[in-house]
Structure 1
Amino acid sequence: MSIPQSGGGPIENRAQLAEYLEAGCKPKDAWRIGTEHEKFGYCKDTHRPIPYEGERSVLAMLEGLRDRHGWAPVEEAGKLIGLIKDGANVSLEPGGQLELSGAPLETIHATCDEVNEHLREVKDVADKIGVGFIGLGAAPEWRHEDMPVMPKGRYKLMTDYMDRVGTMGKTMMYRTCTVQVNLDFGSEADMVQKLRVALALQPVATALFANSPFFEGKPNGHKSWRSRVWRDLDSDRTGMLPFVFEDGFGFEAWVDYALDVPMYFVYRDGKYVDALGQSFRDFLDGKLPALPGETPTLSDWADHLTTIFPEARIKKFMEMRGADGGPWRRLCALPAFWVGLLYDQSSLDAAWDLVKDWDAATREALRVAASEDALQARVDGIHMQELAQQVLDLSEAGLKARARPGAGGMVPDETHFLNALRESIDSGKTPADELLERYHGDWQGDLSRIYAEYSY
């Protein structure tokens, strides 16, 4: 999850809220790719989640990355809670999941190199302290009471709030992982088209990357349990956002939506001030109960935007949020999938043609079906495997049109990063299907086998 935002001055009029978003518009030659992924750490001998402190711990991991690989520390209240280097940062999810938020890079080749280097560094440190890391969408065995709590004020506030607004908020926080990509837009119209395509096709990403069929030690009846969790988290800040498809949608409409999302906190002097359930509209008027008489800064607005969790969202860039965390190859496949669709105008137009006639009920039904059945989902005559084939073809065409070479020119474009997804579509099997086959087959119901065979 996001670190506190900084650098924004006082908000003197409401127009600044939309202007903040619009300031993210960039010319096409400045569009970049930022890949984020989360992973679960565990003790190799016990398969238990690693605590924050101790010989085998999150803190030991952060200190190892700092001392052995040149990362600079990020602290909160005297506790090491993250790292920064070369435009990237390493941060902690609430249950100790380790997240890389990559630097904004020009090509999938570069972002995949970054992911690979990060995982090599993590393994170097982890092997020395008896820790392993695994990429899954949900913790396969652990219960809530097994999970450590990271020393971050934001997470304490969120944990206290989650049971008031849904049934699965704490599950999301402590026992799920994702991979996502952050992409740019060139104008308000470009943002609108990209966000509509991103939301409509997020279920395809959920299906292709489905990788959480187990929970609390047994199959859970879903290919993406993580996606299922998000449906019962907090209806005020999640979902498929039907208003995005209404005439007139733009930055102002996003501001209206965000202003109606209840607040979590205000960050002041290194501390998180409890503003749970309060209104940013009141904050604009100097009437926030948490800080009477005080008005917000643009940094507060930026912080508030990080507390909105729909399937795709905008800040000064756009985030694709529908995929489960997964194995090494798919950490590069996710940005390739979306870059091919959204960074080439012909592919983007064709993708919009695919989805423009769907209504809100169809989009939501696809979301639900993807979490349950992945590529075998069917909704109103739409077969997910066939849809995914069409979408992947468009993504591949977009990557070919980009023609960004790698390996010193030896690789002509970025299309090979889609190979893992092509294999899934050809076979109809996602990582979740493969895991279930192993569980019911040679593992004979022994889920502990997942750690040795599927860790990084």
Structure 2
Amino acid sequence: MSINRVNYAHLLTKPNPKHLDSLMRFFDSGKLQPSEFGYGVEIEHLPVHNGDDSAVTYWEPNGIETLLKRLSPFYDKEGEYWENGHLVGLNRDKVNVSLEPGGQVECSIGIFHAPDDFNATYESFRGQVDHIADELGFRLVNYGYQPVTSFSDIPLNPKFRYEAMNRYLGRIGSYGPMMMRCSASTQVSIDYTDEGDSIRKMRVGTAIGPIIAWFLRNAPYFEGRENPYPLLRQRMWDFMDPQRTGIMPGLYSPNFSWETYAVDVLSTPLLFADLTHTPEKKDSVPDGHVIAWHENAAEIYPDRALNQYEINHVLSMHFNDVRMKNFLEFRHWDSLPEDRARRLVDIMFSLYYNAENLGRLTSYFDGLTQLDVEAAKSAIQANGAEATPYGQPMEFWQEFLGLEGLLSDTPGDQRHPDVFQA
């Protein structure tokens, strides 16, 4: 997939050295000692009507906008986020509520420093939001894709970036509008000690992420029918936009570095530019939003060091399997209910924060190439439970990665009993 990127990247303006330095400093700011390591969890929820399990949209009466307004007294007033005159986000200590394009409700929680810290905070969020949603006639479910409603029947929420992303991703890939409107994920973020540690964790995480995703898969439905894909989320992202998704190009090269990652991000068209925190653009771009399908950061942002808001936006327009910020964000998994999300946290702690386990994985995958990882992903997608990624059966990986007790049978068995009884 990286070939497509190389073919036309030379047509773009080279990264601005000041921007490159900004990203390098940002990555460096994330270095922590192991005693300081924490984690964050993002869970996206699909809103469905109680009567027929169809999708609840942002705009409908008693829909997602109403939910946020009813939920807002539980959050900090100064943490509210509005766009186009509509409420689209809430914030309080350790909890941020935001919206994905189709009105999926995302709960980002952390930073936590022990696995046990997850449950109480998430349960508090669910206790408040579930009560309000029930009064409005709907509920939030944890699936990787809407159980009944087609993407074509779900309007976008009012956030500026999603209109640009919809127009762009709808033209270059097979699943862009579907992913945006109907999918939901669970993501876990972890820390690193230095550049080498971050790259080691990125490589291991990219290699084993699809395997863990198989055992945690939670997308029994696709476009109102039984999902035919062993890994629907991977299927959508692998056919999305090769210049900003999938495996980070060069990740398994001995010369890969933070600079490699930063150059790649800064060389890629932004798709959408958020200039709301760029003072120099206040007069020329009053609303602070620009579609940038062809322009990279050097062509949009001023010739100076990027501020943290700008850095976060630039990095957020890349969607690799493992994303680099001033922490590492692992993005492989479908939306998971609380017990399975907690199990995922336990797995992440065991594999990445246990030096012996991380060393074992690093040694096992020594010499791995990007083609090896692509082959493993394809094998799981093609053969499911019969796949042998990296030459080993799924039973081996279940034991090797500590995944005992997780799903290993057919996607149909993932159905929640109270959703979509066909």
- The counterpart of 2:420, out of the listed 442, 445, 448, is 448
- The counterpart of 1:308, out of the listed 306, 312, 318, is 318
TM alignment of 1:23-422, pairs within 5 A: 23-67=29-73, 69-72=74-77, 73-269=80-276, 271-283=288-300, 297-379=307-389, 381-392=391-402, 421-422=403-404
For residues 323-357 of structure 1, what are the alpha-carbon distances to aligned partners after superposition, in whole Å with 9 as ceiling and x for unaligned?
A: 11122211212222112111121111011122224
2:212 and 2:390 mapped to 1: Cα distance? 19
1:373 and 1:324 mapped to 2: Cα distance? 19
Q: Closer, same or farther in 2 for the Cα pair 1:13/1:354, shift >3 Å?
A: closer
Matching residue of 1:434: 413
SS at match of 1:316: coil
Q: 1:208–1:374: 8 Å Cα contact kept in structure 2?
A: no
Q: Residue type matched to 1:335 in 2?
A: V
Q: Closer, same or farther in 2 for the Cα pair 1:164/1:295, shift >3 Å?
A: farther
1:11 and 1:84 mapped to 2: Cα distance? 34
SS at match of 1:423: coil
Matching residue of 1:291: none
2:176 and 2:60 mapped to 1: Cα distance? 27
For residues 15-52 of structure 1, what are the alpha-carbon distances to aligned partners after superposition, in whole Å with 9 as ceiling and x for unaligned?
A: 23211211111122221110000010011113221121
Query: C-alpha displacement at 1:320, in angstroms?
Result: 0.7
Q: 2:205–2:330: 8 Å Cα contact kept in structure 1?
A: yes
1:214 and 1:156 mapped to 2: Cα distance? 25
Unaligned runs of at least 5 residues, structure 2: 1-15, 277-286
Q: 2:75–2:91: 8 Å Cα contact kept in structure 1?
A: no
1:41 and 1:82 mapped to 2: Cα distance? 16
2:47 and 2:76 mapped to 1: Cα distance? 19
For residues 417-451 of structure 1, what are the alpha-carbon distances to aligned partners after superposition, in whole Å with 9 as ceiling and x for unaligned?
A: xxxx52126xx337x25137x9xxxx9xx98228x
Report the identity percentage.
25
SS at match of 1:424: coil
For residues 194-223 of structure 1, what are the alpha-carbon distances to aligned partners after superposition, in whole Å with 9 as ceiling and x for unaligned?
A: 111111111122111111132122223213
Q: 1:185–1:191: 8 Å Cα contact kept in structure 2?
A: yes
Q: Residue type matched to 1:449 in 2?
A: Q
1:141 and 1:352 mapped to 2: Cα distance? 42
1:193 and 1:201 mapped to 2: Cα distance? 12
1:85 and 1:295 mapped to 2: Cα distance? 29
Q: Closer, same or farther in 2 for the Cα pair 1:14/1:185, shift >3 Å?
A: same
Unaligned runs of at least 5 residues, structure 1: 1-9, 287-293, 393-420, 451-456
Q: Closer, same or farther in 2 for the Cα pair 1:116/1:374, shift >3 Å?
A: farther
Calculate the TM-score normalised by the size of structure 2.
0.87
Q: 1:188–1:250: 8 Å Cα contact kept in structure 2?
A: yes
Matching residue of 1:395: none
Q: 2:94–2:110: 8 Å Cα contact kept in structure 1?
A: yes
Query: C-alpha displacement at 1:277, in angstroms?
Result: 2.4
Q: Residue type matched to 2:159 in 1?
A: K
Query: C-alpha displacement at 1:296, in angstroms?
Result: 5.1
Q: State the aligned residue count.
A: 395
Q: Residue type matched to 1:422 in 2?
A: E
Q: How much is the aligned-residue C-alpha RMSD, in angstroms? A: 2.5
Q: 2:150–2:224: 8 Å Cα contact kept in structure 1?
A: no
Matching residue of 1:20: 26
Calculate the TM-score normalised by the size of structure 1.
0.81
Query: C-alpha displacement at 1:307, in angstroms?
Result: 0.8
Q: Closer, same or farther in 2 for the Cα pair 1:157/1:284, shift >3 Å?
A: closer
Does 2:406 match 1:424? yes
2:92 and 2:307 mapped to 1: Cα distance? 27
1:375 and 1:117 mapped to 2: Cα distance? 36
Q: Closer, same or farther in 2 for the Cα pair 1:284/1:97, shift >3 Å?
A: closer
